[in-house]
């Protein structure tokens, strides 16, 4: 069973007070007892003196009798007169210890006999039996002891008084014990409540609730509660830090494993994409070795090897650019560029290709300045326009426009081409992703253009979106913060 601290303190205080009362009572009762003894001893001594003087006077009056004979003959009478004089019950013994007065009501016990023998030797002694005191003292004349006087003294009054006082002490002790327990219980109530509250605070912290309030008290308990509150806050902060660190670590680990996965996939793709043109080149080289005089084969081989080499070169170039962008060693030289001018210049360089595909070009261009790296912006525009040409339909259209809206310069490149299926829209910016492998390969693509465009755009604080794409065509949009003055 668990006894509360309140009860323990109360019992302790009550017992302490009870003990004090006990010691005090003991001292008082002892004082009373020794005072009573002193008083009756003095009284009986005086009675003894009176009896001896009276005996002497009586003996003198009876001059013809020896004191021994007097006692034996007139002992009863003398004892009666002595009783009248002293007011005590008296028994007289002669020199041999024989009763010469009326017989005592009680007596004859061994203890009594021993005391009588003791008194016959000239000494005073007394025996106390409950409320009765038998005081035996020598009866003497000038030439020595003639007998023994026994006074009977009642201790009833003394004992009653003593017992009353003892009873009072016991009652006082009990009352003090009870009262002190009750008072201490209430006094320690607030103290114990404080400790109970502290215990609850500690329990809450142990259960993981660190947001606890302190006790509004000015004593040590209040200060302790503030200490516990502060400690708990400290634990909470450390835990939060740890959780934060753990989350960061998990994120970093996830990111690393994702990067690792992406890298493996990237290398796999690179190997695969590089293999295709190389296989083709090697096949034609083998054929030429086998048929060195075949002129037509020579012509075809030259064409194929040239186009595959170009494709390979372009791929290597893009892969290098992509890995440079990944490794953050991208050299960025921003300058203020008029998007209208740069678009027109890129369109100019691609006009031959457009004509080759019989495409019609439409532009809606306005002066709009951005801060960007010129070479990167050219790569972005060339790739987007190249796609608009490559994935267009015969006699299709390419529309290029730019405009300023909400502090951004938007460039939109639209075509009337084959469009991008909805399910592929999310993946077109992934390296090596192509919707239709054959078509991409025919047009010399390996799925690297859009991923390069996205990285270049974002590295410069821009954004690229697939604005819309369906069977009527595709529209890509890029945006950069506008620069107003030049």
Which parts of this chain interact with ligand ADP (CB under 6 A)?
Answer: 383, 387-388, 391, 415, 417-420, 428, 433-436, 440, 445-451, 474
Is residue 408 within 8 Å of 479, Cβ to Cβ? yes
- Select the residue whose beta carbon is closest to ligand ADP and give its number: 445
Sequence length of the chain is: 486
- Kindly tell me which of 348 and 438 has the beta carbon lying closer to ligand ADP: 438
Nearer to ligand ADP, 157 or 426 (CB): 426
Q: Name the token pair of 443.
A: 């047009």
Minimum Å gap between C-beta 265 and ligand ADP is 15
Q: Which is nearer to ligand ADP, 194 or 445 (CB)?
A: 445
Rounded CA separation 425/217 (Å): 66
CB of 309 to ligand ADP, least distance (A): 17
- Complex with ligand ADP: residue 168 or 351, whichever CB lies closer: 351
Residue (402 or 474) nearer to ligand ADP, CB: 474
Closer to ligand ADP by Cβ: residue 380 or 388: 388
Q: In angstroms, give the least distance from the CB of 440 to ligand ADP.
A: 4
Instruction: Identify which of 70, 126, 59, 61 has the alpha carbon closest to the alpha carbon of residue 101.
Output: 70
List b or e across 365-386, with b for residues whose CB sees 16 or more CB atoms inside 10 angstroms.
Answer: beebbbebbeebbbbbbebbbb
The C-alpha atoms of residue 7 and residue 185 are separated, in whole angstroms, by 7
Q: How far is the CB of 290 from ligand ADP (least distance, A)?
A: 33
Judged by beta carbon, residue 48 or residue 387, the one nearer ligand ADP is 387
Nearer to ligand ADP, 88 or 383 (CB): 383
Measured from the CB of residue 434, what is the shortest distance to ligand ADP in angstroms?
3
- Residue (74 or 441) nearer to ligand ADP, CB: 441
194 versus 447: smaller Cβ distance to ligand ADP: 447
Residue 423 C-beta: closest distance to ligand ADP, Å? 12
Least distance CB 472 / ligand ADP (angstroms)? 11
> Least distance (Å) from ligand ADP to the CB of residue 365?
19
Q: How far is the CB of 465 from ligand ADP (least distance, A)?
A: 13
Nearer to ligand ADP, 115 or 322 (CB): 322
- Strand pairing report for 397-405 and 408-415: antiparallel
Q: Which is nearer to ligand ADP, 71 or 379 (CB)?
A: 379
> Which residues lie across from 411 on neighbouring strands?
402, 478
State the minimum distance, in angstroms, from the CB of residue 348 to ligand ADP: 20
Least distance between ligand ADP and beta carbon 374 (Å): 21
Residue with smaller CB distance to ligand ADP, 347 or 482 = 347
Minimal distance in Å, beta carbon 209 to ligand ADP? 54
The total of other beta-carbon atoms located within 10 Å of residue 436's CB is 14
Nearest approach in angstroms of CB 319 to ligand ADP is 12
In 3D, which of 132, 137, 74 has the Cα closest to residue 105? 132
> What SS3 string covers the chain?
CCCCHHHHHHHHHHHHHHHHHHHHHHHHHHHHHHHHHHHHHHHHHHHHHHHHHHHHHHHHHCCCCCHHHHHHHHHHHHHHHHHHHHCCEEEEEECCCCECCCCCCCCCCHHHHHHHHHHHCCCCEEEEECCEEEEEEEEEECCEEEEEEEEEEECHHHHHHHHHHHHHHHHHHHHHHHHHHHHHHHHHHHHHHHHHHHHHHHHHHHCCCCCCCCCCCCCHHHHHHHHHHHHHHHHHHHHHHHHHHHHHHHHHHHHHHHHHHHHHHHHHHHHHHHHHHHHHHHHHHHHHHHCCCCHHHHHHHHHHHHHHHHHHHHHHHHHHHHHHHHCCCCCCCEEEEEHHHHHHHHHHHHHHHHHHCCCEEEEECCCCEEEEEHHHHHHHHHHHHHHHHHCCCCCCEEEEEEEEECCEEEEEEEECCCCCCHHHCCCCCCCCCCCCHHHHHHCCCCCCHHHHHHHHHHHCCCEEEEEEEECCEEEEEEEEEEECCC
């Amino acid at each position: 069973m668990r006894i509360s601290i309140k009860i323990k303190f109360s019992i302790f205080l009550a017992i302490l007070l009870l003990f004090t009362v006990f010691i005090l009572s003991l001292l008082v009762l002892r004082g009373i007892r020794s005072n009573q003894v002193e008083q009756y001893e003095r009284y009986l001594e005086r009675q003894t003196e009176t009896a001896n003087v009276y005996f002497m006077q009586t003996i003198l009056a009876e001059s013809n009798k020896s004191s021994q004979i007097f006692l034996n003959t007139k002992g009863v009478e003398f004892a009666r007169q002595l009783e009248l004089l002293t007011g005590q019950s008296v028994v007289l013994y002669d020199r041999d210890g024989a009763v010469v007065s009326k017989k005592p009501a009680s007596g004859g016990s061994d203890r009594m006999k021993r005391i009588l023998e003791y008194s016959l030797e000239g000494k005073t002694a007394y025996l106390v039996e409950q409320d009765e005191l038998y005081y035996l003292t020598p009866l003497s004349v000038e030439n020595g002891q003639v007998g023994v006087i026994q006074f009977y003294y009642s201790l009833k009054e003394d004992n009653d008084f003593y017992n009353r006082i003892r009873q009072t002490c016991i009652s006082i002790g009990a009352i003090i014990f009870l009262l002190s327990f009750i008072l201490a219980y209430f006094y320690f109530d607030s103290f114990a409540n404080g400790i109970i509250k502290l215990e609850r605070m500690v329990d809450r912290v142990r259960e993981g609730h660190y947001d606890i309030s302190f006790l509004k008290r000015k004593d040590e308990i209040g200060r302790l509660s503030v200490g516990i509150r502060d400690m708990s806050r400290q634990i909470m902060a450390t835990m939060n830090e740890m959780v934060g660190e753990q989350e960061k670590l998990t994120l970093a680990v996830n990111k690393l494993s994702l990067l690792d996965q992406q890298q493996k996939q990237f290398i796999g793709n690179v190997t695969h994409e590089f293999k295709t043109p190389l296989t083709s080149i090697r096949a034609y080289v083998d054929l030429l070795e086998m048929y060195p005089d075949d002129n037509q084969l020579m012509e075809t081989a030259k064409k194929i090897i040239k186009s595959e080499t170009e494709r390979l070169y372009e791929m290597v170039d893009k892969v290098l650019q992509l890995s440079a962008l990944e490794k953050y060693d991208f050299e960025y030289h921003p300058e203020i560029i008029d998007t209208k001018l740069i678009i027109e210049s890129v369109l100019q360089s691609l006009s031959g290709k457009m004509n080759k595909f019989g495409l019609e070009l439409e532009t809606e261009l306005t002066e709009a300045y951005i801060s960007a790296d010129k070479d990167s912006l050219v790569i972005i525009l060339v790739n987007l326009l190249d796609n608009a040409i490559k994935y267009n339909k015969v006699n299709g259209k390419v529309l290029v426009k730019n405009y300023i809206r909400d502090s951004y310069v938007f460039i939109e490149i639209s075509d009337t081409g084959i469009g991008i299926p909805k399910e592929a829209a999310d993946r077109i910016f992934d390296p090596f992703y192509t919707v239709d492998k054959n078509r991409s390969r025919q047009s010399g693509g390996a799925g690297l253009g859009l991923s390069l465009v996205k990285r270049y755009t974002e590295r410069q604080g821009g954004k690229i979106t697939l604005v819309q794409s369906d069977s009527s065509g595709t529209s890509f949009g890029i945006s950069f913060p506008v620069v107003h003055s030049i």
